[in-house]
């Protein structure tokens, strides 16, 4: 895919972005970092955004060396002697695994946790027990949550470590299964919040684990139920995929968009979660199914949703209308443009074969204008401070409109492409053999990065 965005006079700051990403961890780990303190609870997702961003700019070998992905990061000390500055990211991710729930938490700490009482601290007096706890440096994971479970699995996928013996796939699958509600929705954790974000996290996580059943009588086109042989017996059936799909469709609104729950306002972030989940579940065809009987009595209480041929195109038009005069995209009507929607909207349009329904040149220029020309990184909008969340989604947006590929050709670099379904580099997705369903463009063509998927006719 080519696009005129690469002719922009605004430079793309490859080196600055690389430096911004690779030095961010040390800045956030500083005890005086305000940003580090307020994002402490979601550090696993922050590390995923960092790794996914740098993975679009550098090769797997360079990412490992720059980030300390699979081995400890070694940097010179003040004396010039090489010194281990932090353990491998993969090892830290496993420290964030919460065996109590079976999921991954957003971080880990050295604070006391009920599950660590099994280590039998001294009980002769309170002073000895307090000293034991102060000296105890055993990693203590935060409570497991679907959001961080997916981020952890995405990190392990980038690292090529999904078969690490420390990864308890049956326990993680059981954790996800336990969070599915009777109506097909998913709670994020044991405390019960329901959101279509969690539907995507559940399906994407199970796909990465090799444990996702498909709705065609729980068999895919090759007759498999979705679980790899090693874990099939322990996890079958993992979830009710038909109910999961039915719930997602119940969150569709009259304007074609999706909300966080049935009847909630359409939001571009929720659209990606719903379209991505339907893609992974091989159920995109239901967007255009006039006879969709997944919820004939509207038992979920959502708005009447559009069917027929207009279904997917009505949604694509709603997404295309999110482009503002600045060229950027917003998440809802009457809101400001924000770089993150370059991902949430472009990914959904890519899956549905409708990226050409927006002005890619203007969007590319908007993203470039949000770069920090001094320190690197990408902000939510021009002039604001950059952060790693918007840096990743800005780079992902540039990838989806073909900008990175064009720049790479001109500058002799090979930039990796992002997959719009799994939010991972395409080479990682293909290496794992992940499956999904996409829609062709109105001319019948399919983006090269999506040709390994099942393709519906969108012409």
Cα–Cα nearest to 227, from 212, 240, 216: 212
**Intra-chain end-to-end CA distance of the chain, in Å:** 18
Q: Using pLDDT thresholds of 50, 70 and 90, give the confidence band for residue 6.
A: low
Q: How many CB atoms are located within 10 Å of the residue 38 CB? A: 10
Query: Pick the residue with more confidence: 420 or 300?
Result: 420
Total-model pTM: 0.87
Per-residue confidence (pLDDT) for residue 236, from 0 to 100: 56
For residue 66 the two structure tokens come to 């720059």
Residue 326 has pLDDT above 70, yes or no: yes
**Cα torsion angle, 310, 312, 313, 314, sign:** positive
- Pairwise CA distance, residues 17 & 14, whole Å: 5
Least confident of 101-110, 188-197, 363-372: 101-110
* pLDDT above 90: percentage of residues in the chain: 70
Phi/psi of residue 454, nearest 5 degrees: -70, 135
Q: Contact at 8 Å (CB) between 211 and 238?
A: yes
Per-residue confidence (pLDDT) for residue 80, from 0 to 100: 64
> How confident is the model over 184-197, as pLDDT tens digits?
999 999 999 999 99
Residue 98 has pLDDT above 80, yes or no: yes
Q: Contact at 8 Å (CB) between 286 and 249?
A: yes
Per-residue confidence (pLDDT) for residue 81, from 0 to 100: 65
- Pairwise CA distance, residues 33 & 224, whole Å: 49
Average pLDDT, the chain: 86
Residue 344 has pLDDT above 70, yes or no: yes
> How confident is the model over 113-170, as pLDDT tens digits?
444 434 444 455 555 554 544 454 567 888 999 999 999 999 999 999 999 999 999 9
Per-residue confidence (pLDDT) for residue 307, from 0 to 100: 44
- Pairwise CA distance, residues 345 & 322, whole Å: 8
Query: Pick the residue with more confidence: 372 or 31?
Result: 372
Per-residue confidence (pLDDT) for residue 1, from 0 to 100: 37
Strand partners, 329: 323
Task: Produce one character per residue of 417-440: b if its CB has 16 or more CB atoms within 10 Å, e if not.
Answer: bbbbbbbbbbebbeebebbbbbbb
- The arithmetic mean of pLDDT across residues 342-346, rounded, is 98
Query: Pick the residue with more confidence: 178 or 87?
Result: 178
Per-residue confidence (pLDDT) for residue 215, from 0 to 100: 77
Q: Using pLDDT thresholds of 50, 70 and 90, give the confidence band for residue 291.
A: low
Alpha-carbon dihedral 90, 191, 248, 272, rounded to 10 degrees? -40
Per-residue confidence (pLDDT) for residue 366, from 0 to 100: 98
Phi/psi of residue 258, nearest 5 degrees: -125, 150
Q: Using pLDDT thresholds of 50, 70 and 90, give the confidence band for residue 42.
A: confident
CA distances from 7 to 115, 233, 355, 371, 378 (A): 57, 54, 19, 17, 20
Per-residue confidence (pLDDT) for residue 298, from 0 to 100: 46
- Pairwise CA distance, residues 279 & 290, whole Å: 19
- Pairwise CA distance, residues 338 & 361, whole Å: 16
Per-residue confidence (pLDDT) for residue 26, from 0 to 100: 82
Per-residue confidence (pLDDT) for residue 310, from 0 to 100: 64
- Pairwise CA distance, residues 390 & 401, whole Å: 16
Give 189's DSSP letter: S
CA distances from 441 to 223, 269, 276, 405, 448 (A): 29, 22, 17, 20, 12
């Amino acid at each position: 895919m080519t696009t005129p965005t690469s002719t922009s006079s605004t430079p793309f700051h490859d080196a600055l972005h690389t430096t911004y990403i690779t030095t961010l961890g040390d800045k956030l780990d500083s005890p005086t970092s305000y940003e580090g303190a307020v994002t402490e609870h979601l550090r696993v997702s922050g590390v995923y955004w960092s790794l996914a961003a740098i993975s679009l700019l550098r090769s797997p070998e360079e990412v490992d060396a720059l980030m300390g992905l699979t081995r400890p990061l070694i940097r010179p000390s003040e004396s010039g002697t090489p010194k281990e500055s932090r353990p491998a990211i993969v090892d830290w991710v496993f420290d964030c695994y919460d065996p109590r729930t079976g999921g991954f938490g957003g971080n880990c700490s050295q604070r006391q946790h009920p599950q660590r009482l099994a280590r039998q601290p001294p009980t002769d007096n309170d002073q000895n027990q307090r000293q034991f706890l102060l000296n105890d440096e055993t990693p203590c994971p935060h409570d497991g949550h679907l959001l961080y479970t997916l981020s952890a699995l995405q990190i392990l996928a980038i690292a090529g470590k999904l078969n690490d013996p420390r990864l308890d796939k049956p326990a993680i699958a059981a954790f996800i299964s336990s969070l599915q509600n009777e109506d097909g929705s998913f709670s994020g954790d044991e405390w019960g919040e329901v959101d279509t974000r969690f539907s995507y996290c559940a399906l994407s996580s199970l796909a990465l684990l090799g444990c996702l059943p498909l709705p065609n009588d729980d068999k895919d086109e090759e007759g498999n139920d979705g679980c790899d042989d090693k874990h099939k017996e322990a996890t079958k059936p993992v979830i009710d995929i038909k109910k999961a799909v039915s719930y997602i469709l119940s969150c569709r609104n009259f304007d074609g968009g999706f909300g966080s729950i049935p009847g909630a306002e359409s939001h571009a972030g929720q659209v990606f979660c719903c379209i991505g989940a339907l893609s992974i579940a091989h159920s995109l065809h239901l967007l255009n199914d006039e006879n969709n009987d997944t919820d004939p009595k509207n038992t979920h209480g959502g708005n009447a949703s559009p069917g027929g041929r207009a279904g997917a195109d009505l949604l694509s038009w709603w997404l295309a209308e999110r482009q503002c005069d600045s060229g950027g995209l917003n998440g809802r009507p009457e809101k400001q443009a924000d770089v993150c929607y370059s991902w949430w909207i472009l990914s959904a349009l890519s899956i549905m074969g409708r990226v050409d329904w927006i002005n890619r040149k203007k969007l590319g220029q908007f993203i470039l204008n949000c770069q920090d020309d001094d320190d690197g990184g990408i902000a939510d909008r021009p002039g604001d401070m950059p952060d790693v969340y918007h840096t990743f989604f800005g780079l992902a947006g540039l990838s989806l409109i073909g900008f990175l590929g064009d720049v790479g050709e001109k500058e002799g670099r090979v930039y990796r492409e992002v997959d719009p379904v799994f939010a991972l580099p395409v080479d990682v997705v293909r290496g794992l053999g992940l499956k999904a369903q996409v829609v062709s463009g109105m001319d019948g063509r399919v983006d090269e990065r999506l040709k390994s998927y099942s393709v519906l006719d969108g012409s």
